[in-house]
Amino acid sequence: MWGYCLRYLPKLSTLYINVPYGKIGGGLVIQHGFSTIITAESIGENCWINQQVTIGYNDSNTYGYGKPVIGDNVRISAGAKVIGPIEIGNNCIIGCNAVISKKLF
């Protein structure tokens, strides 16, 4: 019975992108957009983002307010979380399931 009722609900997208217009560089690859949320200030050229990645803003008094800035040639592997006003430099690789929430230096 429930399966019959649920069939008529709208399909939900699992990829959410909220980046200001003109702030995404050329060559962005999103491999398997399943369960991926991208809310960045900007994304550089030739970036690669895998599935289940969260890039988002932080509204914490401790770590500051803001969204990440992603540089050129960055790879963000499956399950990684990049949260807050962080700048990811050029040519970086963020490993699987890594959590980056503040600057280290």
pLDDT of residue 11: 62
List, for residues 65-75, the tens digit of each pLDDT value.
889 999 999 99
pLDDT of residue 77: 96
Task: Specify the pTM.
Answer: 0.83
Q: Which of 56, 67, 68, 53 is nearest to 15 (CA)?
A: 53
List, for residues 20-66, the tens digit of each pLDDT value.
999 999 999 998 888 899 999 999 999 999 999 999 988 877 767 88
Helical residues (DSSP H) of the chain, grouped into ranges: 2-6
Q: Which of 85, 36, 81 is nearest to 65 (CA)?
A: 85
